[in-house]
């Protein structure tokens, strides 16, 4: 298996401007969320990157990518029919190759020398199958993520055989069908926002699209659930953290994480300590 293509989905009506938000990256450079994701994809060794966008957003996204815009191919999702449909729109770009997939409202900060996408791609090549990145997540966060259930791969601490996938399950549903032995109580394996997927997923989406009724949307999690029943499909717990920049304070938390892992770490820590000290003085009794 060779991973030479990446697909970034960025056409969600409520999230289409999120990838254009600016942050200071680990190297101290101001970049858009999109630019940081593109650099993450390139670190995994891909040669071609497609971004699925709403019609009319191409110019804004090209500007957001900066000097990497020439590496991108824009694919329009029209009309918008869901997350799975956005990925389906890039089926001709993907062809019959496995591909790296990112959601555009998540950033990833690795605690290892290698970036998250690079680790995931290397695992997929080694195992020769689809692999989704996951992170143990508290039950209270289930409304925000897709969740997998399964079992450990023998002698592989952070690798799991996926048996089921559910999108934003209730705690009751998660407890019934998504418990993974060995995880802390009240924690589940939630998607990290990066996947290596095989062409089988696009075939499943194609079949599902033909069966949609008017007004229905095509989602990805049911297709991934079907994938787990058709072929080997793994989940990898990465040595890093995901940050959903589309939720309240998400952009702030992502910025803080990038700063604390970057070259300006000491300066940022000093400013945080000074800010906390100021608040302590203001709130101290008698002052």
pLDDT (tens digit per residue) in 106-139: 999 999 999 999 999 999 999 999 999 999 999 9
Give the count of domains, the chain.
1
Instruction: In the chain, count H helices and then E strands.
Output: 10, 13
Quick check: 246 and 193 in contact, CB under 8 A? no
Two structure tokens written together for 2: 């060779």
For 69, other C-beta atoms within 10 Å of its C-beta total 18
Band the pLDDT of 16: cuts 50, 70, 90: confident
Residue 134 resides in a domain: yes
Q: Which of 156, 140, 147, 202 is nearest to 180 (CA)?
A: 147
State yes or no: pLDDT of 286 exceeds 60: no
Band the pLDDT of 80: cuts 50, 70, 90: confident
Looking only at the bridges linking them, the beta strands covering 130-138 and 233-237 are parallel
**Is 164 in a helix, a strand, or coil?**
strand
Q: Residue 284's pLDDT is what?
A: 67
d(CA 184, CA 138): 9
Quick check: 71 and 42 in contact, CB under 8 A? yes
Q: Residue 115's pLDDT is what?
A: 96
Residue 149 resides in a domain: yes
In sequence order, the 6+-apart residues with CB closer than 8 A to the CB of 262 are: 24, 25, 26, 27, 28
Residue 80 resides in a domain: yes
Length of the chain counted residue by residue? 287
% of the chain beyond a pLDDT of 90: 87
| Residues 70/114/258/4 CA torsion (nearest 10 deg) | 20
Tell me the pTM.
Answer: 0.93
Q: Which of 17-26, 86-95, 277-286 has the lowest mean pLDDT?
A: 277-286
| Residue span of the structural domain in which 275 resides | 5-281
d(CA 247, CA 5): 28
Q: Residue 280's pLDDT is what?
A: 78
Q: What is the pLDDT of residues 176-224, one digit of tens each?
A: 999 999 899 999 999 999 999 999 999 999 999 999 988 899 999 999 9
Residue 286 resides in a domain: no
d(CA 70, CA 73): 8
Quick check: 46 and 101 in contact, CB under 8 A? no
Q: What is the pLDDT of residues 39-67, one digit of tens each?
A: 999 999 999 999 999 999 999 999 999 99
Average pLDDT over residues 148-156: 94
Strand partners, 82: none
Looking only at the bridges linking them, the beta strands covering 187-197 and 99-103 are antiparallel
Quick check: 54 and 11 in contact, CB under 8 A? yes
State yes or no: pLDDT of 1 exceeds 90: no
Residue 60 resides in a domain: yes
Residue 199 resides in a domain: yes
Band the pLDDT of 15: cuts 50, 70, 90: confident
Q: Residue 285's pLDDT is what?
A: 59
State yes or no: pLDDT of 287 exceeds 60: no
Q: Which of 212, 191, 192, 208 is nearest to 200 (CA)?
A: 208
**Is 14 in a helix, a strand, or coil?**
coil
CATH of the domain at 56: 3.90.550.10
Residue 236 resides in a domain: yes
Residue 174 resides in a domain: yes
Q: What is the pLDDT of residues 234-268, one digit of tens each?
A: 999 999 999 999 889 999 999 999 999 999 999 99
Output DSSP code: residue 269. H
d(CA 97, CA 100): 10
Output DSSP code: residue 154. T
């Amino acid at each position: 298996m060779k991973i030479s293509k990446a697909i970034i989905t960025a056409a969600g009506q409520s999230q289409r401007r999120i990838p254009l938000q600016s942050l200071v990256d680990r190297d101290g450079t101001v970049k858009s969320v999109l630019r940081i994701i593109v650099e993450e994809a390139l670190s995994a060794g891909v040669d071609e990157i497609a971004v699925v966008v709403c019609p009319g957003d191409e110019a804004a996204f090209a500007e957001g990518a900066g000097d990497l815009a020439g590496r991108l191919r824009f694919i329009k999702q029209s009309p918008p029919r869901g997350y799975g449909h956005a990925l389906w729109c890039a089926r001709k770009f993907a062809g019959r190759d496995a591909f790296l997939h990112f959601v555009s409202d998540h950033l990833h900060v690795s605690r290892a020398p290698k970036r998250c996408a690079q680790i995931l791609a290397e695992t997929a090549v080694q195992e020769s199958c689809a692999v989704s990145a996951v992170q143990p997540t508290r039950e209270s966060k289930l409304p925000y993520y897709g969740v997998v259930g399964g079992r450990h791969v023998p002698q592989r601490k952070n690798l799991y055989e996926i048996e089921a996938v559910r999108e934003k399950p209730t705690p009751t549903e998660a407890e019934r069908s998504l418990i993974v032995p060995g995880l802390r109580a009240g924690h589940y394996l939630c998607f990290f926002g990066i996947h290596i997927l095989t062409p089988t997923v696009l075939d499943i989406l194609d079949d599902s699209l033909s069966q949609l009724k008017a007004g229905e949307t095509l989602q990805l999690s049911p297709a991934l659930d079907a994938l787990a029943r058709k072929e080997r499909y793994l989940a990898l717990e990465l040595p890093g953290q995901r940050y959903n920049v589309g939720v309240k304070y998400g952009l702030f938390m992502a910025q803080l994480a990038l700063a604390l892992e970057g070259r300006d770490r000491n300066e940022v820590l000093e400013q945080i300590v000074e800010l906390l000290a100021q608040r302590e003085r203001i709130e101290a009794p008698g002052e």
